[in-house]
Amino acid sequence: MRYVALFVLFFTSSFRINAQSTLDSLLYAYEHQTGMDRLQTVLELSKYYTNDNLFKSLDYAKEGLALAKEFGDESDIQNAHNRMAIVYSRLGDAAKCNEHFLEAVKISMESENRDILVEGKLLNNIGLNYSNLKQEDLAIKYFKESIELGARSGDSTQSATLGNIAITYGRIGKYDSAFYYLQEAMAIDRLFSDSLSLAYNKGTLGEIFQKDNQLDSASFYLEGALAYFRNIPDNDYALAYYYNEIGEIDFKRGLYEKAKEHFFTSLELAKKIGAKSIQRDCYKGLEEVFEAQGNLSEALKHGRQYTILQDSLFREESAQKMYAIETSYQIKNKEQEISVLSAQAKVDELKFYIATGLATVIFLLLTFLFYRYQFKAKANFILQQKKPDNSAAKQRNTG
């Protein structure tokens, strides 16, 4: 079971009512801009293509990072690293995804204007990446740290992270915990009228019901999520994903024709955007449906396509695992650097408070001494005024 609803915070795709005109405007600006103006347009183009063409999205993200390093400040570089990480996450390259997220966290912690709200969102994203790597304990750890920072910063929109915790618990079979966190997430969605987040969380709830073999409830929530995304342009990834999920439920319920319809729709969308893992799952679903219907030639045909894609994805996954092993030392170093920076930040904060306290004590002491001196001087003056004039008396006696 896969989950599409793992949220990458503050990088969810922009949904456009006039999609083509928006794209045309961005491309026109891209051709005529330079420097910082071009940087913002490039990142918007990368965001635009996240659900349509991941390869284009990656190209624009790479250009954005190069422009940020040349023309931008630390905030721009951080945003560009985030965008790179998002695309690599969608492409399934967990090692590079984590590398860019950790670099963004490091930039945040080294900044003079440290933003714990941004750090909280980055920690969510790192947790997401560990969840994709099936390292659930680490994922939950980062998600909960994200929620803690969000609470400290006054962030009231933590539905995405709560949903991510629910998904992770669902993966390891802790359904009660998953349902609990999803209810918390959906309550926040309703409170802030966040329809997009609510749709994703409904989809997640449907998938957890599916895994728990509660197919009617699963179908209800997945259809609810799909209904929302049907009305959003340029969101082919989510549509492909949910059509495939509903196809799997149809197959389990014996609704073979509906299952085929959903699988074929999902497959067409997945091919369009280059989502190989969804294509693979569609071919597997179609193989099972045709086999159940006794159409062995079609079952064999789709089974072959499934095997081809499965082998391809396996090779890619193996290469990524090798890359992850090769870069794990660097990643651990980055995490250690972040830990050192965090500890140093706490030491610096403590030093600041100590220095401030000492300065306050010294100021109060000097103030006390000053007023004490003033008081003594005034008292001496008054005493001098009250003494008899002995010099005048002597003058009179001499005369």
The dihedral sign for the CA sequence 207, 208, 211, 212:
negative
Please provide the CATH number assigned to the domain covering 235-328: 1.25.40.10
Please say whether the beta carbons of 61 and 49 come within 8 A.
no
- pTM of structure: 0.57
Instruction: Please give the structure tokens belonging to residue 204.
Output: 């997640």
For the ranges 20-24, 43-47, 273-277, 299-303, the lowest mean pLDDT is seen at: 20-24
Mean pLDDT for the stretch of residues 319-327: 53
Mean pLDDT for the stretch of residues 299-319: 85
Going by pLDDT thresholds of 50, 70 and 90, the confidence category of residue 215 is very high
Mean pLDDT for the stretch of residues 348-353: 64
Domain with CATH 1.25.40.10 in the chain: 1-13+22-135, 235-328
Environment class of 301 (CB within 10 Å of its CB; exposed 0-12, middle 13-18, buried 19+): middle
For the ranges 203-207, 253-257, 324-328, the lowest mean pLDDT is seen at: 324-328
For position 357, what pLDDT does the model report? 67
For position 285, what pLDDT does the model report? 97
Please say whether the beta carbons of 102 and 331 come within 8 A.
yes
Note the pLDDT tens digit of each residue in 61-94. Answer: 999 999 999 999 988 999 999 899 988 888 878 7
If one compares 2 and 25, the residue with the highest pLDDT of the two is 25
Note the pLDDT tens digit of each residue in 167-208. Answer: 899 989 899 999 999 999 999 999 888 888 899 999 999 999
Average pLDDT, the chain: 80
Going by pLDDT thresholds of 50, 70 and 90, the confidence category of residue 14 is very low
For position 373, what pLDDT does the model report? 59
If one compares 21 and 165, the residue with the highest pLDDT of the two is 165
If one compares 9 and 299, the residue with the highest pLDDT of the two is 299
Please provide the CATH number assigned to the domain covering 1-13+22-135: 1.25.40.10
If one compares 74 and 398, the residue with the highest pLDDT of the two is 74
Note the pLDDT tens digit of each residue in 122-162. Answer: 888 888 878 877 788 989 999 998 988 887 776 666 888 99
Hey, what's the torsion of the CAs at 147, 153, 159, 163, to 10 degrees?
-20
For position 307, what pLDDT does the model report? 94
